[in-house]
Amino acid sequence: MESEKTKKPSEMNPEDLPDVRAFQDEFTRGFLQSTEETRPGYYPFLSGTGKYEMDFPEGGIIGERAYSLKKDQFESYLIGIQSSLFESSINITYTEEKEGNEQITLDMLRRSTNEDLKFKKEELQNTRLYTAPLNEYGDIGFVSYIQNLNGIGGIQLTYVSECVKENEKCSKNIEKQKLVILDWIKSIHFIKKENESE
């Protein structure tokens, strides 16, 4: 019985998995580390590079055809999320960026969105986070860059949410959804390798 609990979701019988969209998709399931929630509605996710982990939304799936991985140096993919009020997409790219090059990346993000993004900078545990609201995309949008302060590695992401159908309930929840997005971005953590110095 104990061995069932230690199995990864990809090794488990599909009938024993949580009845949520993330576990129903075989490709997405390969990234999920446990059927135990990290917090309500989210499960532990490990990137294909093995360089970072995050909370993965139960309504999300990773687009297999758009997934790209180059050993542990580069990874790019799209997550599509369905919920009762919002449909969201997250575009994530991991590259081996060094600390100190953030301005180049932020300028590149501005050019790619064609917006004068106003990034807010935050120092978190072992990461430097830059986040800016997007004005032209969907109902709610954010662009973010996360720099590893414990080694090489940076993550660029764009998170966009739109109301499933325009109604009062959705409009009332837009501010709440913004907080959900910003909170989720902070769940991304780089994994410190044993041989990396403090």
Residue pLDDT, tens place only, 34-55: 999 999 999 999 999 999 999 9
* Sign for the pseudo-dihedral over CA of 60, 61, 63, 67: positive
Q: Does residue 156 lie within any of the structural domains?
A: yes
The DSSP bridge pattern shows strands 74-82 and 140-148 to be unpaired
10 in any annotated domain: yes
At 16, which CATH number? Answer: 3.40.1000.10
In a domain, 198, yes or no: no
State pLDDT tens for residues 128-143: 999 999 976 667 899 9
CA terminus-to-terminus distance, the chain: 39
Alpha-carbon gap, residue 191 to 142, rounded angstroms: 24
Q: What's the structural domain count of the chain?
A: 1
- Which amino acid is it at 63? G
Residue 30 lies in a domain: yes
State which H helix or E strand residue 82 sits in: strand 74-82
Helix, strand, coil fractions of the chain, as percent rounded to 5: 25, 35, 40
- 8 Å CB contact between 59 and 20: yes
| pLDDT over 70 percentage in the chain | 92
Q: What is the DSSP string of 85-151?
A: SEEEEEEEEEE-PPTT-HHHHHHHHHHHHTS---PEEEEETTEEEEEEE-SSSSSEEEEEEEEESSS
Answer whether residue 109 is part of any domain.
Answer: yes
Q: Is position 196 within any domain?
A: no
Domain assignment present for residue 126? The answer is: yes
* Residue 155 within any structural domain of the chain: yes
Q: Which of 2-16, 68-82, 165-179 has the lowest mean pLDDT?
A: 2-16
Find the domain containing 58 and state its range: 2-190
Q: Are 186 and 124 in contact (CB under 8 A)?
A: yes
Q: Is the pTM for the entire model greater than 0.75?
A: yes
